[in-house]
Amino acid sequence: MNNKSSIGNILLILTAFIWGCAFVAQSVGMEYVGPFTFNGTRCIIGGIFLIAANLVFDAVKKKNKTYVKPSESEKKELIKGGIICGIVLFAASSVQQIGISMTTVGKAGFISVLYILIVPFFGLLLRQKLPRMIWLCCAIALCGLYLLCINESLSLSKGDAVVFISAAIYAVHIMAVDRFAPNVDCVKLSCIQFLVAGIISVAFMFIFEDPEIDKILDAWLPILYAGALSGGVGYTLQTVAQKWTKPSVASLLMSFESVFAVIAGAVLLSQVPSLRETAGCILMFISIIIIQLPEKRKVEV
């Protein structure tokens, strides 16, 4: 492993840590403001941070004489992709934010990461064949989900169900990003989608909520963390790190987001999982790791 790969891996673990702790920020933020107010302000902050990041990256490219001015078709593709991804991001983050207010941080973290398993099933709509390994991973994940979320009355809590729906929408978001990212600047795409999601959230905020500046200021720390660190810094670190790390390794390291969410919830909010819930987390994490191993083998062959 060379130095750049090591640095990339460290940055991705840091990214997973930032994203895992963001579940705490999202949970705490809901004590002060509504979901649309929280997401609107955090996405706008994240978008502004990414505007600054884009300016820095472009300046570095120009200094190194590697900057290439995008064509008109590339600009149109970037704007189109940013708007579409932003709309889906708004839907996913809004549903997730509502769900987090009704469940624990650890559960939300693990259920959210299930998008890794959901994406292949959406591929069925595109007539893509599912490998047997995916079916095995889904069986393991379902067992884990049962231990983590199903209570004594054999029912799924409303909050867990809502977060699961958000994971499905995040899977759609992954597919949307996958459609546009190869043809455009990823940091610029992320910047536009954050701003689009933020603008839509702010509109919904005024329609469905009664935002008060005092309550927003009371929630300044979780909003700033979720916006600047989770959105801006987290995505920038991911973008830089993935230049030096194999995609299979990157996805494995970033899936530790769910583990950090459990740890952060236990340390910061005293939401310590039971033995049964811990067993469920372990099973789900095993399925998340296994499903990415075939991809790793294909890359290294």
Taking residues 192-203, what's their average pLDDT?
96
- Taking the C-alpha atoms of residue 221 and residue 228, their distance in angstroms, rounded to an integer, is 10
- The domain segmentation of the chain, as residue ranges, is 3-300
pLDDT(216) > 90: yes
Strand, coil or helix: 150: strand
Note the pTM of the prediction, 2 decimals: 0.87
Going by pLDDT thresholds of 50, 70 and 90, the confidence category of residue 119 is: confident
pLDDT the model gives residue 5: 80
Taking residues 204-231, what's their average pLDDT?
94
- Taking the C-alpha atoms of residue 89 and residue 104, their distance in angstroms, rounded to an integer, is 22
Tell me: the pLDDT tens digits for 172-197? 998 888 888 888 888 899 999 999 99
DSSP 274: P
How far is Cα of residue 202 from the mean position of the Cα atoms in its chain? 20
Taking residues 200-211, what's their average pLDDT?
96
Helices 275-300 and 115-122 pack at an angle, to 10 degrees, of 50
